[in-house]
Amino acid sequence: MPDEIIVSNFVELHEALIPFRKNQIWIFRGQKNEPTWKLRPKAGRKLLAIPDQNLFRAWKRYAVSREEGLSYKSDWDWLALAQHYGLPTRLLDWTVNPLVAAFFAVKQSGNSEGVIYAFYQRGSVDVGLAHEPLQDGQDSPPEPFDTTDIKKVKPRYVTSRLLAQDGIFTIHNPPELALEDNIQDQQELIKIVINKNCLEELTIDLSYYGINEKTMFPDLGGLSDYMSWWYHPDRFDED
């Protein structure tokens, strides 16, 4: 499989995605195709006055009072929640659904090319094990800040958006680690570049297959954005 594939319509995108169906290990991320947008989490892109784990601990102390019923959750759950609300963390968002990645590639690209990254890495941190009795010989998952290098993380779905987007993460330690600069043996990273001339048409195609603001953001904000887009006069041909 080539390291980079260029697509110009939905049919070509579908054909490019077919080889990834052979197993469920591949994960996907969509974003603007900008060379400076390295595959590193926000905590590795932003200059912070304190280490990101200290920022997270301080955030959690305040968050407990604002989100009732969350005190039982593990730090993995809290970290996913912090990521959801925009705190710089060492998590990077991915999805197991390549069309979801295509949606974000189109959404973030503006008038430039979009890109879908496909990443292959065996093994992952299963956060659910932190909430279940361990079987004989089974190890509990490491704490978030005890992980090393770059690892996939299968989260619990602590937010409706994480569930709707079939979300999964990579965690980077240190957070400055960029995935494309640290590919190891038995790993693969492939780019699917989306031509900027097909972005509008691809947005419509994705919505036809149920991938749009309404389904990706299952709240009133997502519904409002979807309705505003769907009923915009530019979407209707003039007689």
- Mean pLDDT, rounded, of the chain: 90
- Residue bearing the bigger pLDDT, 239 or 195: 195
State residue 223's pLDDT score.
95
Residue 238: pLDDT over 50: no
CA-wise closest residue to 83 among 173, 174, 168: 168
State residue 239's pLDDT score.
42
SS3 193: strand
Residue 135: pLDDT over 70: no
Average pLDDT in the 162-171 region?
Answer: 97
pLDDT band at 68 (very low <50, low <70, confident <90, very high): low
What proportion of the chain, given as a percentage, has pLDDT over 70?
A: 91
Q: What is the pTM of this model?
A: 0.91
Per-residue pLDDT of 99-123, as tens digits, reads 999 999 999 998 899 999 999 999 8
Average pLDDT in the 72-97 region?
Answer: 93
- Residue bearing the bigger pLDDT, 73 or 39: 39
Residue 71: pLDDT over 60: no
CA-wise closest residue to 171 among 106, 225, 126: 126
